[in-house]
């Protein structure tokens, strides 16, 4: 059993330093055993060297040169020194280590620590100081090595023994957790941080480390205990002191803010903290200081800034701009509100305070709450209700009133809306105090109101006389009477110009910035109370005050819409709404149509005619003063809204019993608008015509019967008759006036490009339609309908069609919803229609759109010559309109029109005839159109065209043989349609159009085809599934060509039927989709259908020759057009064995050249594949020798070089099926040898000779002879010997080719 003495000896041995146990020396620079061999003098030299380096970096180290790093000190042994000497030494060492902490990672610092460990054994006697020195670098290997050297027993860092054992650096969160669990260690950290913050000079990393450590520790505390705060106060006091460095101050800010956020502090401590932050603020941490103040004020709910903190804060340079920056990034009310309150309270104490207050007001975007607090304090100061000692005298009170007035006016200028709301709040509070009948509160309320009235005279924020609300707030008050009173105040007060004026202008013509009450004025323009809306619309300077013409125009249009729905009738509401409408049309159609008024003499307020505010003006009296308006302020330029204003005028210039006064006001306003559409309204002729139309009612009014005094003047029946006659006369007058107005607008619309500009009429018409009410749209259609007859340059037709197309199914010509008015295409404006227009009935526009469409079709390709319309040659634009119009009308008529477009179809076909085209050709072309190309994918276009063709063709008799055959082709295509309705229509057309005398011997060959198709029409057009319509068509065509006569006659009939398709290659499609086509045209779709229908009918050779031009056209379209490629494939199918047999001799026609071009690129890949597939053994064997060789050469080359895999595969399959002759290969080999010989003969010494040699190697058809020969020989190589006849004959030509190639190579070398 171990004795007690032995146990004690073991404890003493364990407490010995590691180096002693291992018989070494403690060292940071060396290994323990290695350090044992280095003497003290060497270590001293190393330490002195490091100390000198540190002294050069920081002069504060010099103070330790004699005490710690002197030669005498190096010879001291502290174990032999007494306690007092050791205490002094410890003090020196601890001071040095505190200073060294900022340079701990510097190699020079490690050298000095090496000396202190060896000489003074700081790792044993000064462990706390040593570890504290290195603690800011706790995550570094240098810290770990120092801890491993230290004897941690009985020290503050005993808990680091794990680091000593494992060598793992402790993370900061472990230090934070240690602070939370060990208040002693937390106190140690706080004291160390305070000591570091008290140091002068460069603080190094220690200051920031302790700040972060303390901040994170406080943040981790669930509850900040009362014992924590006193431990932090020394650090906060030292760090926030003006003498502290910027880094120390920043660290104290972090800790202080975190403390205020985490704990509820006592008021004295909060005030001291605010004072410390404000007093210690310095560059470059002014922004951070303000943020800290914001956080403290927000977390501690500070209402009033402490006076001492405020005085230091106001001294901060550029305080207003810094506060403005802070407000732009954060919600800063918790600091700004106390700040502005303090500034307002102290504004009379020093000029600097008033200056700073002005800067804050001007530069900072103050919140509504801040403005309210500021205004309350300023009112208190200005009214004298909260006078301080400085303002106790009359002079002081007057000074305070002046300062408050200047400041509150500044607030009103920079923050008008918030100031108005604040004044409204102050007045409301004053009114409530006065309602309590408290004498003192009553006096204070009156004083506040008097001060505000004086200080804010002429401002929207000023009190509204007689009301406890500001002028700006009254404009949006829920009570209508208060809103009306505010508008009257703006209208009548002498200061209205100041309130209504906007901000600065960019130029004299540009609008100013929106006025301070622009939003409220816009809302009053749309007010639902008629009197208020009327007052707002007629307010002088309204346009300038709003500063946004677009917004004002939109508000006027919105309120006009409401008024239009309510001013029908004779009740009081209708009278008031008519008054609103009159003022709004004057504003929107007249004032806003002009350029923005120029600024004159610094005034931005628009000069406008003042209007009476009497009841009479808002009535709808027939003697309205606007009956004879004067044209005001014609300025010779268009405003930005002139076009929209003109469109709006169209909707309100309608005379009816309920709208006469509004119409007169609209016309008067429109006279000010210089828009081209309204030009005629400014003429004397218009005034005379309108006056004459309006006088018609008075002239036709019956004179009332006179009776004796005291008796009735007439019987009741007579009165009723007089009233009815008067109404009828007024109705005639209204109709005549509307006719005059529409006619005048029509003349303006037809003024031409010179007046409008290129394309401007179309843009205006579309905008007017899209923005307009149903009434405006109706009048626009009527005006353009009249104008199109006066169109000289086509601009009206273009614009009208754009409107009709844009509105086609929604309120336009194709809208057949129930409730549409009865239609009269020639005279669309009936009394019922006029009433519907006046009432903005949306069902009035569809029939008017159809009437306008009918008139458009009547005038296209025509020109007025006196009372007649003469035709003009169709243009591309008019042809496009006819095409699209026909398509749209066909679809709409088939869907719901039920014949509503019949007259318009006739007019359209008449336009085609006037333009030099043929209605039959036009209809036939569309009858063969692709149903998939219709809008919506319907089949109504071909069906409608066929029905019209049956009627139209019957009328003309189809006497032209050429057109007769083309129509037959079109009808054949239509008979192949997948839709039964189209087939039925085609069959009916065949019956109707079949030429007479088709059975006579003198009849053309195509008549036989007509006859057979007519006989089979019932089956061809059958809509039942029991009848195969396709088979019936093919049988009828076969029978017709058989009945045509001899082969030559059959070929003639075939060529005539294929003529519309053959013309593709001649005209390249010109006229196919145009409205001026004389002959029918077939597109790719129709051509494909026709060729497929004629498959097996007639001679393939004749078809191939006839379709060669069409095939060339298809091949020229390239890869991008699938329809053309499909047609090419269908045509290539006609190149059969019979066609190959028809080629005689060495010559070939156009058809062979086109077929040969289909075999190679750049023809579309599908066409190449189809052409190669034609090369069957029978086809190739039927060709003449020259054509056979040409085809084989293409096939040989295609096997390896064609870019399309399908074409290469088809070529390989074709060659596999062929039995080749040696002569087929020999000709290619000998041609290649000749080309190689030519290359050898040419001189290769220059680039030019090389190019010549290359060109010589190509034959006449452009194929590389050598490449063709090589391709042919490759084919011979993989074909079986039995598939090449006389294979042995190839040896000699191949040897010749090899010799020629060797010679060419030698010559090239």
What is residue 716's predicted lDDT score, i.e. its pLDDT? 58
Mean pLDDT, residues 956-977 taken together: 70
Whole-angstrom Cα distance, residue 1158 to residue 255?
Answer: 88
Confidence of residue 1 (pLDDT cuts 50, 70, 90): very low
Whole-angstrom Cα distance, residue 1235 to residue 983?
Answer: 60
Report which of residues 92 and 1082 the model is more confident about. 92
What is residue 1249's predicted lDDT score, i.e. its pLDDT? 42
Task: Quote the DSSP letter at residue 1258.
Answer: B
Residue pLDDT, tens place only, 309-345: 889 888 889 889 998 998 889 888 899 899 989 988 8
CA-based nearest residue to 1128, from 1139, 1140, 1118: 1118
Strand partners, 1258: 1264
Reported residue count of the chain is: 1309
Would strands 868-871 and 1220-1221 be described as parallel, antiparallel, or unpaired?
A: unpaired
Confidence of residue 353 (pLDDT cuts 50, 70, 90): confident
Q: Please determine, for residue 820, whether its predicted confidence score (pLDDT) is greater than 60.
A: no
Confidence of residue 790 (pLDDT cuts 50, 70, 90): confident
Q: Please determine, for residue 906, whether its predicted confidence score (pLDDT) is greater than 50.
A: yes
Backbone φ and ψ for 1179, nearest 5 degrees, come out as: -65, -45
Q: Which of the given ranges, 227-236, 612-621, 671-680, 1094-1103, has the highest pLDDT on average? A: 671-680
Strand partners, 600: 603
Report which of residues 1066 and 202 the model is more confident about. 202
Mean pLDDT, residues 580-587 taken together: 92
Q: Which of the given ranges, 243-257, 431-445, 697-711, has the highest pLDDT on average? A: 243-257
Helix-helix angle 774-787:845-859, to 10 degrees: 20
When mean pLDDT is compared across 80-84, 175-179, 622-626, 851-855, the lowest value belongs to 622-626
Backbone φ and ψ for 514, nearest 5 degrees, come out as: -55, 140
Whole-angstrom Cα distance, residue 1011 to residue 249?
Answer: 111
Confidence of residue 421 (pLDDT cuts 50, 70, 90): confident
Confidence of residue 440 (pLDDT cuts 50, 70, 90): low
Q: CA angle, 70 as apex, 67 and 74 as ends, to 5°?
A: 95
Helix-helix angle 1005-1015:980-993, to 10 degrees: 130
Backbone φ and ψ for 1221, nearest 5 degrees, come out as: -105, 145
The total of other beta-carbon atoms located within 10 Å of residue 915's CB is 22
The total of other beta-carbon atoms located within 10 Å of residue 1250's CB is 15
- In contact, 920 and 941? CB cutoff 8 Å: no
Confidence of residue 869 (pLDDT cuts 50, 70, 90): low
Q: Please determine, for residue 970, whether its predicted confidence score (pLDDT) is greater than 80.
A: yes
Task: Quote the DSSP letter at residue 1264.
Answer: B
When mean pLDDT is compared across 106-115, 316-325, 328-337, 427-436, the lowest value belongs to 427-436
Residue pLDDT, tens place only, 498-509: 555 555 554 555
Q: Please, what is the average pLDDT of the chain? A: 78
Whole-angstrom Cα distance, residue 278 to residue 269?
Answer: 14
Mean pLDDT, residues 522-545 taken together: 89
Whole-angstrom Cα distance, residue 123 to residue 134?
Answer: 12
- In contact, 916 and 1076? CB cutoff 8 Å: yes
3-state SS track over 900-932? CCHHHHHHHHHHHHHCCCCHHHHHHHHHCCCHH
What is residue 5's predicted lDDT score, i.e. its pLDDT? 58
Q: Please determine, for residue 1054, whether its predicted confidence score (pLDDT) is greater than 90.
A: no
Would strands 1220-1221 and 1284-1285 be described as parallel, antiparallel, or unpaired?
A: parallel
The total of other beta-carbon atoms located within 10 Å of residue 1074's CB is 23
Whole-angstrom Cα distance, residue 299 to residue 263?
Answer: 9
What 3-state DSSP class applies to 797? helix
Whole-angstrom Cα distance, residue 433 to residue 441?
Answer: 5
CA-based nearest residue to 188, from 155, 225, 152: 155
Report which of residues 464 and 486 the model is more confident about. 486
Whole-angstrom Cα distance, residue 730 to residue 742?
Answer: 18
- The beta strand positions in 1015-1102, using DSSP E, are none
Mean pLDDT, residues 465-490 taken together: 79
What is residue 1061's predicted lDDT score, i.e. its pLDDT? 76
Confidence of residue 1259 (pLDDT cuts 50, 70, 90): very low
Q: Which of the given ranges, 846-850, 935-939, 1303-1307, has the highest pLDDT on average? A: 846-850
Q: Please determine, for residue 368, whether its predicted confidence score (pLDDT) is greater than 70.
A: yes
What is the distance of C-alpha 1170 from the center of its chain?
48
Confidence of residue 7 (pLDDT cuts 50, 70, 90): low
Whole-angstrom Cα distance, residue 1082 to residue 1064?
Answer: 8
- In contact, 797 and 834? CB cutoff 8 Å: no
Taking CA atoms, 425 is separated from 344, 371, 487, 873, 922, in Å, by 18, 11, 20, 76, 78
When mean pLDDT is compared across 385-399, 601-615, 1032-1046, 1172-1186, the lowest value belongs to 601-615
Confidence of residue 870 (pLDDT cuts 50, 70, 90): low
- In contact, 796 and 786? CB cutoff 8 Å: no
Mean pLDDT, residues 530-535 taken together: 91
Residue pLDDT, tens place only, 1201-1218: 888 888 888 888 888 887
Mean pLDDT, residues 285-312 taken together: 89
Whole-angstrom Cα distance, residue 355 to residue 116?
Answer: 60
What is residue 103's predicted lDDT score, i.e. its pLDDT? 86
- In contact, 171 and 178? CB cutoff 8 Å: no
What 3-state DSSP class applies to 571? coil
Q: Where do the H-state alpha helices sit in 750-875?
A: 753-756, 760-771, 774-787, 795-806, 831-838, 845-859
pTM: 0.67
**Would you list the DSSP string of 1098-1119?**
S-HHHHHHHHHHHHHHHHHT-T
- In contact, 228 and 272? CB cutoff 8 Å: no
Whole-angstrom Cα distance, residue 1011 to residue 1003?
Answer: 11
Taking CA atoms, 1093 is separated from 83, 185, 926, 1155, in Å, by 127, 103, 19, 21
Mean pLDDT, residues 1033-1047 taken together: 80
What is the distance of C-alpha 947 from the center of its chain?
47
When mean pLDDT is compared across 91-100, 225-234, 602-611, 704-713, the lowest value belongs to 602-611
Query: Can you count the helices (H) and strands (E) in the chain?
Result: 67, 4
% of the chain residues with pLDDT over 70: 80
Mean pLDDT, residues 384-395 taken together: 58
CA-based nearest residue to 312, from 261, 358, 352, 367: 352
Whole-angstrom Cα distance, residue 1127 to residue 930?
Answer: 13
Q: Which of the given ranges, 387-401, 857-871, 1096-1110, has the highest pLDDT on average? A: 1096-1110
Residue pLDDT, tens place only, 719-761: 666 677 777 788 888 888 888 999 999 999 998 888 898 889 9
Mean pLDDT, residues 576-599 taken together: 87
Confidence of residue 494 (pLDDT cuts 50, 70, 90): very low
Whole-angstrom Cα distance, residue 972 to residue 1097?
Answer: 13
CA-based nearest residue to 309, from 347, 348, 284, 335: 335
Backbone φ and ψ for 471, nearest 5 degrees, come out as: -65, -45
- In contact, 609 and 632? CB cutoff 8 Å: yes
Q: Please determine, for residue 511, whether its predicted confidence score (pLDDT) is greater than 60.
A: no
């Amino acid at each position: 059993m171990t004795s007690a003495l032995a146990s004690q000896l073991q404890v003493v041995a364990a407490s010995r330093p590691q180096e002693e146990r291992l018989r070494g020396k403690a060292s940071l620079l060396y290994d323990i055993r290695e350090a044992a061999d280095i003497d003290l003098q060497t270590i001293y030299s190393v330490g002195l060297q490091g100390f000198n380096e540190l002294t050069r970096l920081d002069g504060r180290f010099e103070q330790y040169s004699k005490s710690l790093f002197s030669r005498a000190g190096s010879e001291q042994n502290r174990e032999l020194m007494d306690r007092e000497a050791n205490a002094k030494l410890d003090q020196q060492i601890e001071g040095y280590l505190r200073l060294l902490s900022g340079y701990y990672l510097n190699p020079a610092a490690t050298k000095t620590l090496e000396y202190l460990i060896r000489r003074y054994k700081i790792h044993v006697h000064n462990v706390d100081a040593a570890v504290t020195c290195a603690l800011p670098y706790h995550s570094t290997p240098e810290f770990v090595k120092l801890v491993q050297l230290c004897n941690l027993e009985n020290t503050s860092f005993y808990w680091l023994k794990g680091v000593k054992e494992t060598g793992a650096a402790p993370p900061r969160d472990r230090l934070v957790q240690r602070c939370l669990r060990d208040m002693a260690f937390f106190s140690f950290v706080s004291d160390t941080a305070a000591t570091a913050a008290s140091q002068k000079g460069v603080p190094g990393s220690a200051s920031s480390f302790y700040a972060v450590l303390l901040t994170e520790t406080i943040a981790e505390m669930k509850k900040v205990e009362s014992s924590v705060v006193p431990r932090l106060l020394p650090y906060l006091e030292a760090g926030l002191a003006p003498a502290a460095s910027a880094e120390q101050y920043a660290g104290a800010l972090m800790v202080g803010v975190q403390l205020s956020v985490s704990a509820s502090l006592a008021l004295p401590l909060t005030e001291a903290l605010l004072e410390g932050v404000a007093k210690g603020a310095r560059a470059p941490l002014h922004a951070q200081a303000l943020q800290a103040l914001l956080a403290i004020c927000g977390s501690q709910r500070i209402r009033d800034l402490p006076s001492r903190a405020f005085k230091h804060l106001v001294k901060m340079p550029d305080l207003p701009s810094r506060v403005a920056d802070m407000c732009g990034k954060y919600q800063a009310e918790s600091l700004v509100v106390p700040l502005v309150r303090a500034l307002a309270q102290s504004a009379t104490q020093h000029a600097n305070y008033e200056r700073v207050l002005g800067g804050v007001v001007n530069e900072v975007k103050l919140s509504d709450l801040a403005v309210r607090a500021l205004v309350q304090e300023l009112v208190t100061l200005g009214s004298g209700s909260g006078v301080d000692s400085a303002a106790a005298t009359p002079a002081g009170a007057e000074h305070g009133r002046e300062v408050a007035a200047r400041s509150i006016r500044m607030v009103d200028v920079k923050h008008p809306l918030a100031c108005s709301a604040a004044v409204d709040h102050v007045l409301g509070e004053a009114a409530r105090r006065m309602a309590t009948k408290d004498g003192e509160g009553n006096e204070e309320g009156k004083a506040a109101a008097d001060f505000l009235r004086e200080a804010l005279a002429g401002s929207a924020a000023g009190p509204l006389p007689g009301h406890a609300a500001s002028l700006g707030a009254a404009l949006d008050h829920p009570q209508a009477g208060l809103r009306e009173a505010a508008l009257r105040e703006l209208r009548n007060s002498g200061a209205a110009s100041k309130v209504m004026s906007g901000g600065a202008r960019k130029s004299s013509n540009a609008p100013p910035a929106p006025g301070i009450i622009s939003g409220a004025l816009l809302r009053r323009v749309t007010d639902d109370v008629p009197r208020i809306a009327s007052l707002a619309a007629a307010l002088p300077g309204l346009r300038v005050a709003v500063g946004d013409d677009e917004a004002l125009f939109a508000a006027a249009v919105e309120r006009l819409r409401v008024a239009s729905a309510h001013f029908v009738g004779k009740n009081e509401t209708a009278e008031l709404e008519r008054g609103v409408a009159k003022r709004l049309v004057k504003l929107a159609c007249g004032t806003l149509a002009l350029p923005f008024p120029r600024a004159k003499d610094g005034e931005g307020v628009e000069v406008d005619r003042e209007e009476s505010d009497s009841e009479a003006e808002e009535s709808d009296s027939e003697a309205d003063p606007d009956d004879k308006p004067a044209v005001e302020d014609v300025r010779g330029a268009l405003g930005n809204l002139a076009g929209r204003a003109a469109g709006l005028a169209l909707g309100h210039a309608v005379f009816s019993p309920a709208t006469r006064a509004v119409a007169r006001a609209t016309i008067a306003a429109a006279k000010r608008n210089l828009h081209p559409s309204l030009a005629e309204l400014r003429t004397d002729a218009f005034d005379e015509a309108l006056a004459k139309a309006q006088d018609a009612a008075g002239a036709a009014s019956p004179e009332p019967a006179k009776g004796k005094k005291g008796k009735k003047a007439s019987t009741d029946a007579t009165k009723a008759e007089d009233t009815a006659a008067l109404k009828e006369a007024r109705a005639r007058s209204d109709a005549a006036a509307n006719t005059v107005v529409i006619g005048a607008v029509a003349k303006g619309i037809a003024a031409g490009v010179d007046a409008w500009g290129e394309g401007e009429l179309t843009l205006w018409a579309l905008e007017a339609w899209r923005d307009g009410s149903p009434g405006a749209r109706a009048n626009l259609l009527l005006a353009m309908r009249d104008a199109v007859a006066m169109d000289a340059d086509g601009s009206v037709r273009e614009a009208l069609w754009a409107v009709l197309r844009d509105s086609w199914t929604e309120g336009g010509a194709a809208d057949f919803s129930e409730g549409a008015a009865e239609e009269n295409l020639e005279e669309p404006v009936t009394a019922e229609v006029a009433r519907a227009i006046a009432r903005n009935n949306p069902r009035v526009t569809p029939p008017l759109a159809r009437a306008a469409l009918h008139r458009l079709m009547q005038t296209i390709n025509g020109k007025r010559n006196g009372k007649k319309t003469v035709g003009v040659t169709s243009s591309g634009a008019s042809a496009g309109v006819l095409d699209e119009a026909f398509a749209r009308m066909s679809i709409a008529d088939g869907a719901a029109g039920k014949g509503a477009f019949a007259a318009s179809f006739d007019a359209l076909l008449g336009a085609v005839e006037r333009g030099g085209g043929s209605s039959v050709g036009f209809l036939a072309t569309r009858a063969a159109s692709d149903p998939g190309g219709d809008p919506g994918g319907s089949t109504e276009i071909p069906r409608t065209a066929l029905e019209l063709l049956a009627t139209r063709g019957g009328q003309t008799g189809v006497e032209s043989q050429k057109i007769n055959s083309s129509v037959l082709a079109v009808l054949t295509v239509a008979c192949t349609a997948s839709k039964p309705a189209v087939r039925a229509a085609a069959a009916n057309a065949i019956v109707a159009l079949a030429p007479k005398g088709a059975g006579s011997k003198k009849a053309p060959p195509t008549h036989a085809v007509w006859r057979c198709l007519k006989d089979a029409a019932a089956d061809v057009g059958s809509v039942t599934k029991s009848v195969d319509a396709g088979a019936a068509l093919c049988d009828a065509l076969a029978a017709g060509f058989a009945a045509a006569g001899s082969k030559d006659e059959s070929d003639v009939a075939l060529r005539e039927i294929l003529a519309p398709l053959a013309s593709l290659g001649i005209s390249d499609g010109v006229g196919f989709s145009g409205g001026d086509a004389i002959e029918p045209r077939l597109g790719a779709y129709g051509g494909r259908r026709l060729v497929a229908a004629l498959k097996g009918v007639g001679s393939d050779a004749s078809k191939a020759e006839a379709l060669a031009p069409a095939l060339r056209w298809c091949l020229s379209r390239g890869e991008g057009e699938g329809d053309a490629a499909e047609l090419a494939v269908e045509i290539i199918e006609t190149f059969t064995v019979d066609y190959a047999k028809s080629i005689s001799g060495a010559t070939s026609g156009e058809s062979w050249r086109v077929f040969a071009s289909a075999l190679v690129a750049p023809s579309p890949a599908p066409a190449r594949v189809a052409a190669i597939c034609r090369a069957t053994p029978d086809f190739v064997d039927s060709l003449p020798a020259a054509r056979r060789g040409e085809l084989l050469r293409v096939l040989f080359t295609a096997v390896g070089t064609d870019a399309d895999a399908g074409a290469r595969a088809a070529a390989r399959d074709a060659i596999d099926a062929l039995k080749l002759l040696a002569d087929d290969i020999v000709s290619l080999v000998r041609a290649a040898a000749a080309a190689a010989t030519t290359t050898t003969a040419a001189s290769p010494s220059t680039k030019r000779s090389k190019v010549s040699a290359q060109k010589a190697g190509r034959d006449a058809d452009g194929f590389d002879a050598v490449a063709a020969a090589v391709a042919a020989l490759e084919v011979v190589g993989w074909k079986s010997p039995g598939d090449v006849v006389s294979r042995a004959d190839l040896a000699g030509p191949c040897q010749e080719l090899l010799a020629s190639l060797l010679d060419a190579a030698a010559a090239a070398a």
